[in-house]
Amino acid sequence: MEGLPHITSNEHMFPGKYLYDEARYIMTECVLAMTDELNKSGFERVVVADSHGPKVNLIPEKMQSFVDVVRGNPRSISMVAGGKGCDVALFLGYHARPGTANSTFDHTIDDRIIRMLKYNGEESSEFYMNAATLGEQGVPIVMVAGDSTLLEDDVAKNAPWSVRIPLKESLGRYAAISPSMPECLDAIRRGVRESVFGFNAGKMKLLKLESPVELEIYFTNSDYAHIASHLPGSNLIGGWGISYKATSMEEAYRVTQLLVFAASGVKSSVGE
């Protein structure tokens, strides 16, 4: 949701906030444009993973009959649940990793818990961890639409074959300039057509990491790292981080999810 056009405020982010319904509408319209164009391009079924916050943001009754929707939380591989076995993957509404200058809502998973996340030494955005997990499953990332900061940096570096569709240009963490909704929807449709053409032409590749995958998580609180270090096979890195060697990217993803939920439990138990 954070990389979608016109979404700039914390009031957009969660149920009960006064701009949340506006954000749901924007998200749903963008998804409908993408799924419709995929269907017109020859894909008989599309799986949509609702992947923001509580993961129940899309308006399900608006979805077309050929769309399966993954909803709810927690999910062991979170944002890419349902992706295994698909021919291609397209990322919609993506944002930059934590610490990225001039980027709306820069974070990975939860900025209240994670200061920095690395896989095999590479600082990870949500794009990177999701693309690498799908790449291990044989699913290429053919299109990424979202914040131009992410597209020009992370996506261009790690998946240069993917079609990049900017939906907003960040002016800060809580400010951005976005094209009109009709223009954004047209851009999404154009990106789908271009990415499908590239896939059919054999131009799309897989983002795959070498195994074993070295996971490093640096937390915002030393107690989160302390609790995470209870996981067998993990090692503390200073006071803020832990490392863990996983046999695969999917295992590294699952361990990341586990440790984030463990930290969330600590956060709740001490009343933060």
**Domain span holding position 130:** 10-115+124-200
User: Which residues lie below 8 Å from residue 7, measured CB to CB, with a gap of 6+?
Assistant: 1, 23, 26, 104, 168
Both 34 and 161 in one domain: the answer is: yes
Q: Is the pLDDT of residue 8 over 90?
A: yes
**Taking residues 57-66, what's their average pLDDT?**
97
The enclosing domain of 36 has a CATH number of 3.40.50.10780
- In this prediction, residue 270 carries a pLDDT of 82
How many domains are contained in the chain? 2
Q: What is the SS3 assignment for 70?
A: strand
Both 88 and 111 in one domain: the answer is: yes
Q: Is residue 4 part of a domain?
A: no
Distance of CA 201 to the CA centre of its chain: 26
Amino acid identity at 103: S
- In this prediction, residue 229 carries a pLDDT of 97
Q: What is the SS3 assignment for 177?
A: strand
**Taking residues 13-30, what's their average pLDDT?**
97
Q: Is the pLDDT of residue 210 over 90?
A: yes
Both 106 and 24 in one domain: the answer is: yes
Q: What is the mean pLDDT of the chain?
A: 97
- In this prediction, residue 69 carries a pLDDT of 98
User: Which residues lie below 8 Å from residue 64, measured CB to CB, with a gap of 6+?
Assistant: 32, 35, 36, 39
Q: Is residue 74 part of a domain?
A: yes
Annotate 102-145 with DSSP letters as a single string: T-TT--SS-TTTEEEEEETTEE--HHHHHHHHHHHTT--EEEEE
Q: Give residue 268's pLDDT band: very low, low, confident or very high (50, 70, 90).
A: confident
DSSP β-bridge partners for residue 114: 219
Q: Is the pLDDT of residue 106 over 80?
A: yes
pLDDT, tens digit (0-9, with 9 covering 90-100), for 110-159: 999 999 999 999 999 999 999 999 999 999 999 999 999 999 999 999 99
pTM of the model: 0.96
- In this prediction, residue 215 carries a pLDDT of 98
- In this prediction, residue 87 carries a pLDDT of 98
**Taking residues 75-96, what's their average pLDDT?**
97
Both 21 and 49 in one domain: the answer is: yes
Both 173 and 221 in one domain: the answer is: no
